[in-house]
């Protein structure tokens, strides 16, 4: 009986020793898994087109801008993302006064990007605050620049200087942003639309219609003057051509009559009697018709010919 009790005690001790070994191994594995989880959870990937901002107790300690794998210190550091690519911001509509004291509504948009994330966070804090400050500068500069131009110079493409105006606005906005160390840069500022306040639209439309009608009348007058000049020039050319043609016709007619007279003379000189007869017959055609009454002496040439006497 005594021997059996000793054997049972030894078996129990060996079992307890095995469980303790398994517990240590399990604890070690748990610790390894937890450590690996912590390490993996504090690794992050920096992608193309983004900045990774690492903060420690709220303060920026590092900016990662190159694509690849990076890390942060567990529990005391955090990571946030800012865009590195160019962004478009739609500026709110605003009303400005032109040099000739006319009101108009402008609608702009801006293309911009973050150049220095540390400065942007230090002075603007957030992306929304940076856009807000940029919008204020754009409005201020645009109001100043358009205030130096007349309304017609802004809306009329033929007289407009808006091509360089956008560049000037972009340059001055960037100067203001640089002076205040906002760490952002505007690539381009463009006017999408320029409108009139509703109460001014009708008067401006009426004036534009009047100007266009005046311009149309000017073109019509110029056209009429040109038409009259062409007609006068054409009439002069026609008169000159007719005069030349008439002179040529008179000359040809004179030559023909001279030739005919020569032929008549040559023909009539050969037989004077026939000539007298021809002249007499020609005179009959002009003096006698169906109602003519002629009283002639019996010995006149007319009477003798009418009565058939030829001697």
Q: Please, which residues have CB within 8 angstroms of residue 131's CB and are 6 or more apart in sequence?
A: 89
The CB density around residue 229, as the number of other CB atoms within 10 Å, is 10
Q: Is the backbone of residue 183 left (phi > 0), alpha (psi -120 to 50) or beta?
A: left
Average pLDDT value for the chain: 81
Asked whether 61 and 77 are in contact (CB, 8 A), the reply is: yes
Domain ranges of the chain: 2-83, 87-195
Q: For 87-195, which CATH superfamily applies?
A: Band 7 domain (3.30.479.30)
Task: Tell whether the torsion through CA atoms of 257, 258, 264 and 265 is positive or negative.
Answer: positive
CB-based contact 60:54 (threshold 8 Å): yes
Residues shown for the chain: 311
Q: For residue range 172-231, what is the model confidence (pLDDT) as tens digits?
A: 999 999 999 999 999 999 988 877 776 666 666 777 788 888 889 989 999 999 999 999
- Per-residue pLDDT at 13: 54
Task: State residue 15's pLDDT score.
Answer: 58
Question: Which pLDDT band, with edges at 50, 70 and 90, does 16 fall under?
Answer: low
pLDDT at 5 over 60: no
- Give burial (CB, 10 Å; 0-12/13-18/19+) of 302: middle
Contact 56, 79 (CB under 8 A): no
pLDDT of 259 > 90? The answer is: no
Q: Looking up tokens 């390490």, which residue turns up?
A: 39
Give the other-Cβ count within 10 Å of 97's Cβ: 13
Q: What are phi and psi of 5, to 5 degrees?
A: -65, -40
Q: Using one digit for the tens of pLDDT, what is the confidence trace for 38-51?
A: 777 788 889 999 99
Strand ranges, E, within 26-118:
43-46, 50-56, 59-64, 68-71, 77-83, 87-90, 94-97, 103-114
Q: What pLDDT shows up at residue 1?
A: 43
Structure tokens at 158: 């033929």
Q: Report how far residue 284's alpha carbon sits from residue 276's, in angstroms, rounded to the nearest whole number.
A: 12
What does the block give as tokens for 160? 């407009």
Take residue 87 and report the two structure tokens written for it: 């962004």
The predicted pLDDT at position 88 comes to 95
**Within the chain, how many helices (H) and strands (E) appear?**
8, 9
Check: CB of residue 86 under 8 Å from CB of residue 113.
Answer: yes
**pTM score, whole prediction:** 0.55
Structure confidence at residue 306 (pLDDT): 66
Torsion-angle region of 6 (φ positive above 0: left; ψ -120 to 50: alpha; else: beta):
alpha
- Of the candidates 112, 110, 87, the one whose C-alpha atom is nearest the C-alpha of residue 166 is 110
């Amino acid at each position: 009986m005594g021997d059996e009790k000793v054997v049972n005690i030894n078996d129990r001790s060996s079992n307890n020793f095995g469980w303790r070994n398994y517990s240590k191994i399990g604890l070690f594995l748990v610790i390894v898994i937890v450590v690996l989880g912590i390490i993996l959870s504090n690794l992050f990937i920096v992608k193309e087109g983004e900045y990774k901002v690492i903060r420690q107790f709220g303060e920026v300690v590092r900016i990662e801008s190159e694509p690849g794998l990076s890390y942060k210190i567990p529990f005391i550091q955090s990571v946030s993302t800012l865009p590195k690519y160019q962004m478009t911001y739609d500026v709110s509509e605003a009303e400005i006064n032109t040099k000739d004291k006319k009101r108009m509504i402008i609608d702009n948009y801006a293309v911009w990007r973050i150049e220095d994330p540390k400065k942007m966070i230090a002075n603007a804090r957030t992306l929304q605050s940076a856009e807000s400050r940029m919008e204020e500068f754009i409005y201020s500069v645009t109001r100043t620049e358009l205030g130096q131009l007349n309304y017609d110079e802004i809306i009329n493409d033929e007289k407009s200087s808006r091509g360089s105006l956008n560049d000037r606005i972009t340059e001055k906005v960037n100067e203001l942003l640089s002076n205040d160390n906002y760490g952002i840069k505007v690539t381009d500022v463009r006017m999408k639309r320029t409108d009139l306040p509703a109460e001014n639209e009708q008067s401006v439309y009426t004036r534009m219609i009047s100007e266009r009608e005046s311009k149309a009348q000017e073109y019509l007058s110029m056209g009429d003057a040109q038409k009259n000049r062409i007609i006068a020039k054409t009439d002069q050319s026609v008169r000159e051509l007719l005069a030349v043609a008439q002179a040529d016709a008179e000359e040809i007619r004179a030559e023909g009559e001279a030739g005919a007279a020569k032929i008549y003379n040559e023909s009539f000189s050969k037989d004077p009697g026939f000539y007298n007869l021809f002249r007499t017959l020609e005179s009959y055609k002009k003096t006698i018709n169906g109602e003519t009454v002629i009283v002639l002496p019996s010995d006149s040439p007319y009477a003798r010919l009418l009565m058939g006497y030829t001697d």
